């Protein structure tokens, strides 16, 4: 059955879909252009709104994802530069919706180097059953999304500006799908959560969304912000044999390069970085940075200086209990061997600290996490990577907890059949570690069609899906996830919801004692959290 909806740009034809959770029917409009293709002279520039079309646009199938080196398909280059599309999912025929529904806009993760809003990873089956409208989207990745040459033709952060334009499109058009344009929640995982937080810090995004959910990421996480974007641009030019010249000549040179070659060059730079800094918690080179071109700048300053201007909106934020499982697999392959040989790199490759202090501090960290054990790939190392990743994430939480709208905090601990990121992206660890790794909460919110044979939705897995989606959807509808259980976390009274087979409100902070140890040890001596 086809469904026709008319938006500002023209008419769209969507299709009926079937939920993997219950078999319930819902409607999907896929591959809707929200911007002009960012190709040719528009490469590296802020996005421009999509043009109108004649006739009925076929929104029954998805369009290309943004060009990337696919981490799942063995490193092949996939996707296209023509990728600025979004998908809208409604719990029923939009033309039959009488009372506008809450809207949830999802920004995907992937370290700013891979990922998409595709239903292969983010099918809205589970969430639409909670009677909300779900929007997923693509945005430009790696150098195509974050090259910053400090000139109007290449001002930086165009990927974040893609997200902003998509939100503007939603604001202007979602009523046509039965959505409430005055009740929009933006949420994301990993780099998507970092993006959401960047948008919350930007002076140019107020009014575009009303609530936010940060899953395992924030603007404060060290690997999500660059302080040396100029040298990265120069290094990329050298890798591609740029003969030298002005910044405008470099831009002209990079605009002439094939997008796949740019992607390969960026990935090569990233791998070289990981080899140079083994033990680094997280990865990414072309990421958000300060914009010196002030006209239209989303990030006119570093995140630390923008925190006091964070939008005062309801927020959910949290992490998984074993974030570090994934990041021990995404660092240099021989990281464990290098840590055994010189454990001090765990500090020097993550923080800027007086080198004279590093040996003693490293010994104290090693003793705290490993005791008398040898450093190896196991629970102790997973906990250490978890804490390194979340070290500054919790600074974001504390900042929000002092605001007039203190956040709802969670820790996702459930270990079930759908912990797909641990099972596949962190594969090769034997025996399989216990707990939920980075992004393992995501398959309990979205159905993932990437799997040819998905695990059956039974027992506790189904229960956790219903708990997660009802919490997220209730928050999107009302600003309160679960009135009779989950209370906000304030600076003086921290608390969080432990999401497992059961839901339990816990007094205190997530990873409380471990993070207190690290902060007491390192805060007095850290000169900078950023080494990139």
Report, as residue numbers or ranges, the catalytic residues: 190, 323, 438
Residue 322: helix, strand or coil by DSSP? coil
The region that residue 285 occupies, defined by phi over 0 for left and psi between -120 and 50 for alpha, beta otherwise, is: alpha
Q: How far is CA 156 from CA 230, 246, 275, in A?
A: 11, 17, 26
Whether the Cβ atoms of residue 162 and residue 298 lie closer than 8 Å to each other: no
Residues 243 and 423: their CA atoms lie apart, in Å, by 45
Whether the Cβ atoms of residue 162 and residue 47 lie closer than 8 Å to each other: yes
Whether the Cβ atoms of residue 122 and residue 30 lie closer than 8 Å to each other: no
| Element holding 18 (H helix, E strand) | strand 10-18
Residues 61 and 476: their CA atoms lie apart, in Å, by 27
> Are β-strands 101-107 and 179-189 bridged in parallel, bridged antiparallel, or unpaired?
parallel
Backbone angles phi, psi at 10, to 5 degrees: 150, -165
Q: How far is CA 315 from CA 171, 260, 399, 404, in A?
A: 19, 38, 12, 11
Q: Which residues have CB under 8 Å from 129's CB, separation 6+?
A: 19, 21, 22, 24, 26, 91, 469
Report the 10 Å Cβ neighbour count for 280: 25
What is the largest distance, in Å, between two alpha-carbon atoms of the chain?
71
Question: Which candidate, 213, 189, 214, 211, places its Cα nearest to that of 442?
Answer: 189
The region that residue 24 occupies, defined by phi over 0 for left and psi between -120 and 50 for alpha, beta otherwise, is: beta
Residues 266 and 278: their CA atoms lie apart, in Å, by 18
Question: Token pair 């660059």 is at which residue?
Answer: 226
> Are β-strands 179-189 and 211-215 bridged in parallel, bridged antiparallel, or unpaired?
parallel
Residue 323: helix, strand or coil by DSSP? coil
């Amino acid at each position: 059955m086809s469904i026709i909806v008319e938006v500002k740009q023209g008419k769209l034809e969507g299709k009926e879909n079937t939920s993997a959770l219950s078999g319930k029917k819902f409607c999907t409009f896929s591959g809707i252009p929200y911007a002009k293709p960012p190709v040719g002279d528009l490469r590296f520039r802020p996005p421009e709104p999509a043009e109108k079309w004649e006739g009925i646009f076929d929104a029954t199938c998805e369009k290309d994802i943004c060009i990337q080196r696919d981490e799942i398909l063995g490193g092949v280059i996939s996707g296209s530069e023509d990728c600025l599309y979004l998908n809208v999912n409604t719990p029923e025929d939009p033309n039959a919706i009488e009372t506008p529904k809450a809207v949830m806009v999802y920004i995907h993760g992937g370290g700013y180097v891979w990922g998409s809003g595709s239903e292969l990873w983010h099918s809205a089956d589970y969430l639409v059953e909670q009677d909300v409208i779900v929007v997923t989207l693509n945005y430009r990745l790696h150098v195509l999304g974050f090259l910053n040459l400090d000139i109007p033709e290449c001002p930086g952060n165009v990927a974040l500006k893609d997200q902003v334009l998509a939100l503007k499109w939603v604001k202007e058009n979602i009523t046509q799908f039965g959505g409430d344009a005055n009740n929009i929640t933006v949420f994301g995982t990993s780099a998507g959560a970092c993006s959401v937080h960047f948008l919350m810090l930007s002076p140019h995004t107020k009014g575009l969304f009303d609530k936010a959910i940060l899953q395992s990421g924030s603007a404060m996480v060290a690997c999500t912000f660059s302080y040396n974007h100029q040298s990265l641009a120069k290094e990329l030019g050298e890798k591609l044999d740029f003969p030298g010249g002005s910044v405008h000549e470099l831009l002209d040179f990079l605009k002439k390069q094939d997008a796949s070659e740019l992607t390969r060059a960026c990935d090569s730079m990233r791998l070289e970085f990981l080899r140079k800094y083994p033990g680094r918690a997280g990865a990414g080179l072309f990421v958000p940075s300060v914009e010196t071109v002030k006209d239209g700048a989303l990030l006119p300053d570093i995140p630390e200086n923008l925190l006091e201007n964070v939008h005062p909106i309801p927020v959910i934020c949290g992490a998984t209990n074993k974030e570090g499982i994934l990041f021990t697999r995404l660092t240099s392959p021989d990281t464990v061997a290098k840590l055994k040989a010189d454990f001090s790199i765990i500090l020097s490759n993550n923080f800027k600290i007086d080198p004279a202090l590093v040996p003693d501090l490293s010994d104290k960290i090693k003793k705290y996490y490993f005791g008398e054990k040898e450093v190896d790939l196991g629970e102790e190392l997973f906990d250490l990577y978890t804490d390194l990743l979340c070290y500054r994430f919790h600074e974001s939480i504390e900042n929000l907890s002092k605001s007039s709208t203190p956040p709802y905090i969670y820790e996702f601990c459930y270990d079930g059949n759908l912990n797909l990121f641990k099972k596949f992206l962190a594969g090769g660890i034997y025996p399989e570690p216990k707990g939920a790794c980075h992004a393992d909460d995501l398959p309990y919110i979205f159905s993932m069609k990437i799997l040819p044979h998905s695990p059956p939705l039974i027992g506790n897995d189904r229960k956790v899906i219903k708990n997660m989606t009802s919490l997220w959807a209730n928050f999107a509808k009302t600003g309160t996830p679960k009135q009779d259980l989950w209370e906000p976390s304030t600076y003086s009274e921290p608390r969080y919801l432990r999401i497992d087979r059961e839901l339990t409100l816990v007094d205190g902070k997530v990873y409380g004692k471990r993070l207190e140890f690290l902060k007491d040890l390192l805060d007095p001596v850290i000169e900078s959290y950023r080494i990139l």
